[in-house]
Chains A and B, each alone.
Chain A
Amino acid sequence: MEFKKTRRRNVWVVIAAMILLQCVWILRIFNSADRIRDGWMICLYQFPLLNSIIMPVVAAVIASRLCDVEHKGQALKLLETVMLPGKLFDAKFLCGSCFIFAATFLQFLIFLVTGYLLNFTGPVPAGRLFCYLLFTATVNVTILLFQQILSLLFVNQMVSLSAGLIGALVGLFIMFFPPEFERLLLWGYYGVLMLVRMDWNSTTRVIRYYWITADWNGYLTLTAMFCVLYLIGRMLFIRKEI
């Protein structure tokens, strides 16, 4: 039913535009042989940065598109008389998650295809790519959950979209802060769960990329944040006066 509500609401257009933008971005990056040599690492460094700017806004747009339809039509009154509010919350979240998973997977396909087309040097780091997919999908879905809670609780969608923008700004800036700051906020986890770091030598102006081990403690913290957000958000929606 939720998918039927999204018909002709052009949610896919937002995702397609995002993918197109990332294609352009990545094509602009790989303009020298040096960069193709470090291709996989550059991809795994650049995409989390790009995600921290784009994905909070994309999640806010998707959540707003899914929830605003009920506010506009004052449909919550009707819906909650025929189904439990908790189930409605879950259905909306699952629907939004499908869009977010699709966006994450498409993005993943972009850099696999780019890797093969540009012949990135070295073997495909399959384990790390899988970790990237898992981490990115989890951060995206957690942010989507946060946005859905705001979009459902506030009729004025300006609140949720502004929160998405502020989150994106904080998430981007916090990457340049000491690592302990990143863990405090949901949007900082694109940086916490990065698998590649960059070392820039200010005298030689040479950039060196290097692998780091996956931060599974960070992932567990994020999962805990997701669970707490889900429980609180669902409870708030159930108790909300319609």
Chain B
Amino acid sequence: MLFKTIMAEQIKLRHSPVWLAFIILPVLSAVMGTFNYLQNIGILQDQWYSLWTQHTLFLCYFFLPPLLGVYCSYLCRLEHTNHNWNAVMTAPVPISFLYLAKLTSASVMALFTQIWIGILFVLSGKISGLTSPVPPALPVWLLCGFAGEIVICALQLFISLIIRSFAVPVGIALIGGIMGLGAMAKGYGVWFPYSLLCLGMRANRPGGPMQCSVPGFCVNILIFLILFMTLSMIWLKRSDVVAE
């Protein structure tokens, strides 16, 4: 049943250009980050690690959270408009599956984005003439970043379920991303959902250890994920459907 619900979610997204932004944004970040790296190669001497920071720092704080917000807003807008909630909520499908299908759809897009960021990073490094081997921790950075992205997707889906506007949740994601910068600076990154992406990706300190322990990071990811999933399901079960 869950698989069928996920497939239904994918059918709703057919021919939608939603994936384009996920292709373009990392490309722009990679091109500009690499250019900036090459311009300041005298100061940025940590080779792959410096290049990684240039590629991901701004992307993780300011641009990926709102972009995931756009995607989640779009997933919920499909139901908010054309009275679709009436049809969806009366379908013989458990409410938890409806939410999980949307979360899976957003997470798949997040996974592809991470793979794309990784490919662009390796390509940019080769083009920049970096001769040392690619950091072996790269898959871990991408995987931890992906975990952070799932939490942001879960939160943004919850916000988009409550706020029926398309744009406001995106604004909230931007504010969250910027506040995440503050949380990271103060050392509370692991306690703030929007910081988890940057923390997992090691965007500001790729060479060193994570700001918190890896098990602590994983536990917090799970706690946030369960929290936002539970809140969303309670919201869907308790609140009356408002369709436009």
A168 CB within 8 Å of chain B = yes
Q: Which of A93-101, A104-112, A158-166, A232-240 contacts B (4 or more CB under 8 A)?
A: A158-166
Are A159 and B167 closer than 8 Å at their CB atoms?
no
Q: Is A9 within 8 A of B165, CB to CB?
A: yes
Instruction: Known contacts A58-B171, A61-B171, A161-B166; decide if A169 and B29 are in contact (CB<8 Å).
Output: yes
CA distance A158 to B166 in the complex (A): 8
Separation in Å of the B43 CB from the closest CB of chain A? 5
A28-B182, A173-B58 known; A166+B21 contact, CB < 8 A = yes
Q: How large is the interface on A (under 10, 10 to 19, 20 to 34, 35 or more residues)?
A: 35 or more
A14 CA / B70 CA spacing, docked (Å)? 16
Contact status B174-A57, CB under 8 Å? yes
What residues on A are CB-neighbors of B171 within 8 Å?
14, 17, 57-58, 61
Say whether B17 contacts A159, CB under 8 Å.
yes
B58 interface neighbour in A72, A166, A169, Cβ under 8 Å: A169
Return the contact of A162 from the options B67, B81, B168 (Cβ within 8 A).
B67
Task: Tell me the residues in window 156-178 of chain B with beta carbons closer than 8 Å to chain A beta carbons.
Answer: 165-168, 170-172, 174-175, 178
Is the C-beta of B1 less than 8 angstroms from some C-beta in chain A?
Answer: no
| Chain A 14-44 interface mask (CB, 8 Å, partner B; 1/0) | 1001100100110010000000000000000
Residues A29-72 near B (CB distance < 8 A)? 53-54, 57-58, 60-61, 64-65, 68, 72
Cα distance A58–B42 in the bound complex, in angstroms: 36
Residues on B with C-beta less than 8 A from A169 are 25, 28-29, 32, 58-59, 62-63
Flag whether A140 is at the interface (Cβ < 8 A). no
Known: A64-B166, A161-B166, A161-B170. A53 touches B62 (CB 8 A): yes
Of A13, A72, A161, A168, which is within 8 A of B70 by CB?
Answer: A161
> In the complex where A21-B175, A162-B70 touch, is A173 in contact with B32 (Cβ < 8 A)?
yes
* A172 part of interface (Cβ distance < 8 Å): yes
CB of B193 closer than 8 Å to a CB of A: no
Q: Which of B33-41, B105-113, B215-223 makes up part of the contact surface? A: B33-41
Contacts of B43 in A (CB 8 A): 202
A116 within 8 A of B: no
Which chain A residues border B241 with CB–CB below 8 Å? Answer: none
* Residue of B28, B171, B179, B244 contacting most chain A CB atoms (<10 Å): B171
Within 8 A of B (CB), among A164-185: 165-166, 168-170, 172-174, 176-177
Taking CB atoms, residues of chain A closer than 8 Å to B70 are 158, 161-162, 165
Bound Cα distance A57, B67 (Å): 11
Find the B residue at minimum CB distance from A20. B175
Contact status of A172 and B165, CB under 8 A, knowing A24-B182, A57-B170, A165-B21 = no
The 11 sampled A-B contact pairs (Cβ below 8 Å) are: A14-B171, A17-B171, A24-B182, A54-B174, A61-B168, A68-B167, A72-B81, A158-B70, A165-B21, A165-B170, A168-B63
Residues of A within 8 A of B (CB): 9-10, 13-14, 17-18, 21, 24-25, 28, 53-54, 57-58, 60-61, 64-65, 68, 72, 156-159, 161-162, 165-166, 168-170, 172-174, 176-177, 202
Chain B residues in the interface with A (C-beta under 8 A): 16-18, 20-21, 24-25, 28-29, 32-33, 35-36, 39, 42-43, 58-59, 62-63, 66-67, 70, 73-74, 77, 81, 165-168, 170-172, 174-175, 178-179, 182, 244
